[in-house]
């Protein structure tokens, strides 16, 4: 099956944890699905129907760094400028806080919409991932043929939550899956597993009479121990088996 494969690289990025606002702002180590949706819409130049869109990705970086940022908190003023009768319009304070940044991020994004190739070759808006100031550039846009296989390896990727019981190598995270723009960007959350280290499908655990799975793989990536890079495709919608969905 053919899919669109897009490689984007940048200097820094940050994926903010929701509801975390005091003193320090940590980052997810991988982009949430809602960030991927916004990235796709930015390239296309408009909001797209999330129905039927499937994506997978491989995300690497050179490490995490800490930065010091400042928030300017302003409020109406009743005073005057020093030495004049000119009224102040605003006054406020500068509040510093620490933010964690991802250094030298690289995103390889797989999408099941071949018709979007021209949009990624000539994106409508500046290419960014995460914050608007975290500019990226597309270093590769191509069509690739992916294959199904029982043998695959996975690394630096986001897996469906069901994989948590099959491997002890992942980190379970709650991520925003989709922002509902019809409800003032209300977020919908889902659980996922971040697979940062390499694992092989042959080492996964199965219980009872569960059949072994087959996985989509990218034969254009390096083959390791006879296995091709495995891909977990996700949906922006919530289905009976969670947000992870079959590609076809």
Q: Which residue would you say has higher pLDDT here, 141 or 188?
A: 141
- Average confidence score pLDDT of the chain: 89
Predicted TM-score (pTM) of the model is 0.87
Q: Is the dihedral of CA 95, 100, 106, 109 positive or negative?
A: negative
pLDDT at 107 over 90: yes
- Give the C-alpha separation, 91 to 87, whole Å: 11
Do 28 and 170 touch, CB atoms closer than 8 A?
Answer: no
Do 175 and 187 touch, CB atoms closer than 8 A?
Answer: no
pLDDT at position 32 is 96
Which option is the CATH number for 2-68+97-242: 3.30.70.3120, 1.10.3720.10, 3.30.160.60, 3.30.750.24? 3.30.70.3120
**Of the candidates 115, 122, 120, 204, the residue with the CA atom closest to the CA atom of residue 167:** 204
């Amino acid at each position: 099956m053919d899919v669109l494969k897009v490689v984007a690289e940048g200097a820094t990025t940050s994926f903010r944890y929701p509801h975390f606002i005091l003193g320090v702002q940590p980052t997810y180590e991988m982009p949430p699905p809602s960030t991927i949706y916004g990235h796709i819409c930015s390239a296309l130049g408009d909001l797209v129907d999330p129905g039927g869109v499937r994506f997978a990705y491989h995300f690497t970086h050179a490490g995490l760094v800490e930065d010091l940022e400042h928030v300017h908190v302003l409020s109406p003023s009743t005073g005057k400028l020093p030495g004049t009768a000119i009224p102040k319009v605003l006054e406020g304070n500068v509040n510093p806080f620490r933010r964690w940044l991802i250094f030298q991020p690289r995103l390889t994004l797989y999408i099941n919409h071949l018709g979007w190739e021209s949009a990624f070759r000539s994106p409508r808006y500046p290419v960014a991932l995460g914050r608007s100031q975290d500019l990226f550039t597309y270093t590769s846009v191509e069509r690739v043929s992916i294959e199904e296989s029982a043998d695959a390896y996975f690394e630096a990727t986001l897996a469906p939550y069901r994989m948590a019981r099959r491997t002890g190598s992942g980190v379970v995270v709650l991520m925003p899956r989709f922002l509902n723009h019809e409800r003032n960007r209300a977020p919908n959350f889902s659980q996922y597993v971040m697979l940062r280290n390499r694992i092989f499908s042959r080492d996964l655990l199965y219980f009872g009479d569960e059949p072994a799975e087959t996985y989509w793989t990218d034969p254009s990536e390096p083959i390791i121990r006879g296995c091709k890079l495995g891909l977990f495709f996700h949906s922006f919608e919530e289905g009976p088996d969670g947000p992870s969905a079959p590609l076809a």
